[in-house]
Amino acid sequence: MKFIQIIAILTFPIFVLAQKNKVQGAWRALSDFEYTLAESPDISYLMKAKENIDLAATNEETKNQVKTYSYRFRIYMHLFAENLKAEDKKLLSSINDKNERLQTAYGNVSILEFVEASKSLDNLQELDSKMIEKLSKSDANNSEEEGKLFLAVMQMQVYQSNLATGRYNSKKYDEAADFFHSLAASNTNTTGKKDTSNFYNACISAQKSKNVAKIITYNKKMIDLQIASPYNYQTIYDAFLSQNDTLNALQYLRIGRAEFSNDVYLMNRETEVFLKNGQQEKALTNLQIAIEKDPSNAQLFLVLGNVYDNLANPKGKNGKDTTKPADYDNLVAKSAQHYQKAIDLKPSNEESYFNALYNLGALYNNYGGTLYNKSMEKTTIASVAKKQKDLDLSSMEYYKKAIPFLEQALVIKPTDRAALTALRKLYLLTGNEAKGKELSDKLK
């Protein structure tokens, strides 16, 4: 029994030494491979280096050593480079242009080895956070191995940039987003300056990928780094809303509005919130400012007309009409003015154009009816006949004004039931029984 214990004690140092030799063996094989690069790369050396370093990276004695991940990073960078060469070679017969061929290769090449290289660099920085900073200073005291490591880090940034563009061009937007973000982070760490351009590219790619988690993460990163534009707030607001996270959506909208008070898109999103919450006056203020900045925007006039319409014709919680406001006539006039402006500008969106025409027709129709009802309430029995005639003339003016707008609306949507019903009623009220009957038959 004692004999067995002695053997175990004697073999343990040998095992530890063997693991340390794996790191040394990886370095030797890596050096041999790099020596062959000038003429004809000998891949067998590289594969031997990979085998040794992978064993060292999983062993308790060597997995937390700087050398282990320094070598592993370089080895996997070479593995990726060889894969890229092979991918480029496959395209020789189909793509003659060298730059186009290489860009396509970046779009197609496997990124497994590149990802492993990135992980090793992360491990290296966790073990020695100052190493890359030290290497970037090109200190004369840096060893040959440290110089090789720094060149590999620089090469990685080139690969990141080309992979990001290649993946984006091949419509692999999810991967492109990650590469642009990694590139931005690397450039920021290396130069000390925030790489706004590539952080933004990451956001654009994430949006194209429709990956909501990445859209939120990468836009939030730009906001946290204080390099955001209105776009970042717009995008993160829409992303949170798509997840029904209204709380976070409104939080970022408020921050964005405070940061970029003149941005029309953010103002419009806030206006939507005001309208939804019944804060009509706040919505009006935003819309008027927006129109000053964009006076040819038909959609803004349509929305503003609708706000005035809602103020003129308030509804209770049950959806039914309530008492008209004191400035009812003025509100109706403003609503008509803005609906008309939207029609004159003719929205490019067909649905919006229909809504502008229909809403103005409905507004005139309702106003005519309201005028009649309001005046009849104050009419005495003795004068009802005369008053009736006067009111008919007054209401008829607005009924007739409503008709052409509803007719134009039906040109756009010939089967819209609400428009057909309203127009039939107006034809009958204005004495056009033939057209009234025609629409009655159509509605049947």
Q: Which of 136, 170, 204 is the last residue of a domain?
A: 170
The 10s digit of each residue's pLDDT in 251-261 is 999 999 999 98
| 201: in domain | no
Judge whether residue 193 has pLDDT over 80.
yes
Count of domains for the chain? 2
**Segment 386-409 mean pLDDT:** 80
CA distance 167 to 177: 9
Judge whether residue 100 has pLDDT over 70.
yes
Cα angle, residue 203 at apex, residues 201 and 207 outer, rounded to 5° = 115
The 10s digit of each residue's pLDDT in 197-224 is 999 999 999 999 999 999 999 999 999 9
State the pTM of this model: 0.66
Q: Position of tokens 């000390």? A: 192
| 196: in domain | no
**Segment 25-32 mean pLDDT:** 94
Domain match, 163 and 301 both: no
Q: Position of tokens 């005035």? A: 308
Give pLDDT, residue 349: 87
Q: Which of 123, 147, 170 is the last residue of a domain?
A: 170
| 314: in domain | yes
| 378: in domain | yes
Question: What torsion do the CA atoms of 419, 424, 427, 431 make, to the nearest 10 degrees?
Answer: -170
* CATH number of the domain bearing residue 411: 1.25.40.10
Judge whether residue 34 has pLDDT over 60.
yes
- DSSP alpha helix (H) spans, 346-416: 350-377, 384-412
The 10s digit of each residue's pLDDT in 268-303 is 888 888 888 888 888 888 888 889 988 999 988 998
Full domain range(s) for residue 395 = 296-444
Give pLDDT, residue 17: 47
| Helix, strand, coil in percent for the chain, rounding step 5 | 80, 0, 20
| 341: in domain | yes
Evaluate whether 53 touches 68 at the Cβ level (below 8 Å): yes
| 394: in domain | yes
What is 112-150 written as a DSSP string? HHHHHHHHHHHHHHHH-TTHHHHHHTT-TT--HHHHHHH
Q: Is the dihedral of CA 241, 227, 154, 168 positive or negative?
A: positive
| 10: in domain | no
Q: Which of 141, 170, 199 is the last residue of a domain?
A: 170
What residues have CB less than 8 Å from 229, skipping those under 6 apart?
200, 222, 260
**Which of 46-55, 92-101, 117-126, 380-389 has the least mean pLDDT?**
380-389
Judge whether residue 238 has pLDDT over 60.
yes
Tell me which residue of 163, 188, 162 sits closest to 174, measured CA to CA: 163
| 286: in domain | no
